[in-house]
Amino acid sequence: MAPDLLLWDCDGVLVDSERTGPRVLAESLAAAGLPMTPEEVSLRFKGGSLQAALAHAEERLGRSLPPDFLERHRERSHAAFRAEVRAIPGVVEALDRIGLPDCVASGGSLEKMRLTLGVAGLLPRFEGRLFSSYEIGSWKPDPGLFLHAARTLGVPPARCLVVEDSVPGVRAAVAAGMAVLGFADLTPEEDLAAAGARTFRRMEDLPALVRGGAARP
């Protein structure tokens, strides 16, 4: 049985920002005196909050980041997103084929979601159904964001299906009592499966999984 509501993560699932974001954060941290590779940034911070990443950086530096760090980092990242972000290959066709009620539930800010989805041409599909961790102060793997989105849209968690690409996101969906599909693009398939996702590698395969109910693994 197909779900009543499909909850999409944003970065790495709808838009291909998961390469741009870690690279720009690595550049910003290096400018502040903490060299990290984009791969290190992605491995350590993927799926978490920017605040947690900055707290980790300050702990390693043994001092506070510059007062204007966040403002400058957002300027860099937004410029990079405008220049580089595209829709994940195959996701437009998947959205057209699935045709179920859906929303976006992301740890990113509403400003960032509207920017990246807008650049990718996907914003009109989700207008009015964007949910951000910043709205409620809850970041994955806490289930609060998914539960908030489902409650707002009037759908029981057991009738929801989440599409995620990070381990914290998968854990949040499982904790919310929702079935979850793990897009194994940049995160190893075995890690997503171990967290509780049924995995897939191509967006072309997603509509059949969703329509089939995407039973828990």
> Are residues 26 and 73 located together in one domain of the fold?
yes
> Are residues 175 and 203 located together in one domain of the fold?
yes
Percent of the chain with pLDDT over 90: 88
Query: Average pLDDT, whole number, for the chain?
Result: 94
> Are residues 90 and 150 located together in one domain of the fold?
yes
What is the tens place of the pLDDT at every residue in 49-104? 888 899 999 999 999 999 999 999 999 999 999 999 999 999 999 999 999 999 99
Average pLDDT over residues 122-139: 96
In a domain, 130, yes or no: yes
What is the domain extent for residue 99? 5-17+85-211
Last residue of a domain, one of 37, 55, 84: 84
In a domain, 51, yes or no: yes
Helices (H), 47-205: 50-61, 69-84, 91-98, 110-119, 123-126, 133-136, 144-153, 167-175, 189-195
> Are residues 91 and 120 located together in one domain of the fold?
yes
Q: Is 9 a catalytic residue?
A: yes
- The CATH number of whichever domain residue 120 belongs to comes to 3.40.50.1000
- The CATH number of whichever domain residue 79 belongs to comes to 1.10.150.240
Residue 215 has pLDDT above 80, yes or no: no
Confidence bin at 4 (pLDDT 50/70/90): very high
Question: Residue 160 forms beta bridges with which residues?
Answer: 5
Last residue of a domain, one of 84, 110, 134: 84
Average pLDDT over residues 106-121: 96
Last residue of a domain, one of 31, 53, 84: 84
> Are residues 172 and 143 located together in one domain of the fold?
yes
User: Residue 162 has what pLDDT?
Assistant: 98
> Are residues 120 and 189 located together in one domain of the fold?
yes
> Are residues 134 and 177 located together in one domain of the fold?
yes
Average pLDDT over residues 10-18: 95
* Structure token digits, residue 51: 């605040």
> Are residues 78 and 89 located together in one domain of the fold?
no
User: Is-contact 196 178, C-beta < 8 A?
Assistant: no
CA–CA distance, 198 with 215 (Å, rounded to integer)? 8
> Are residues 60 and 97 located together in one domain of the fold?
no
What is the tens place of the pLDDT at every residue in 148-163? 999 999 999 999 999 9
> Are residues 30 and 110 located together in one domain of the fold?
no
Q: How far is CA 23 from the centre of its chain?
A: 16
Total domain count, the chain: 2
User: Residue 54 has what pLDDT?
Assistant: 93
Token pair 């995995």 is found at: 199
* Structure token digits, residue 139: 């970041």
Average pLDDT over residues 134-158: 97
> Are residues 112 and 168 located together in one domain of the fold?
yes
Residue tagged active-site, from 4, 9, 142, 191:
9
